[in-house]
Amino acid sequence: MNFITTDKHSAVETLLAAIQKIDGAYASLKIRAYKADFTQFIKYCEIRGDTALPAHPITVASYIQHLTSKAYSSSYIRRVVAAISTIH
């Protein structure tokens, strides 16, 4: 979707707009999961002082490494990556 935002508020607004655009293209449970996953990514970026949208590839890689260090399952991490990719 290639949105450019500079702060958390804009990232959340962009997330909500993206969710509206994909509504109907995915099952409602998947959309809810993507929204939750991307909201967590926004929080992670906010703590680190990074931009969530558009996210730098190093930021995404760092987030994946963070999730891996927390011992999340590979299926969960794949879903998070899919959510980040879909929202972008």
- pTM summary value: 0.78
Task: Tell me the C-alpha distance between 50 and 21, whole Å.
Answer: 25
Mean pLDDT value across residues 67-82: 96
Percent of the residues in the chain that have a pLDDT greater than 90, as a whole number: 60
Mean pLDDT value across residues 62-78: 96
Written as six digits, the tokens of 60 are 């995404």
Q: Give residue 6's pLDDT.
A: 47
Q: Give residue 9's pLDDT.
A: 60
Half-sphere exposure of 70 (CA within 13 A, CB side): 9
Average pLDDT in the chain:
86
Q: Is the pLDDT of residue 5 over 80?
A: no
The amino acid occupying position 39 is: T
* Domain layout of the chain by residue ranges: 8-87
Q: Give the domain 8-87 fold.
A: DNA polymerase; domain 1 (1.10.150)
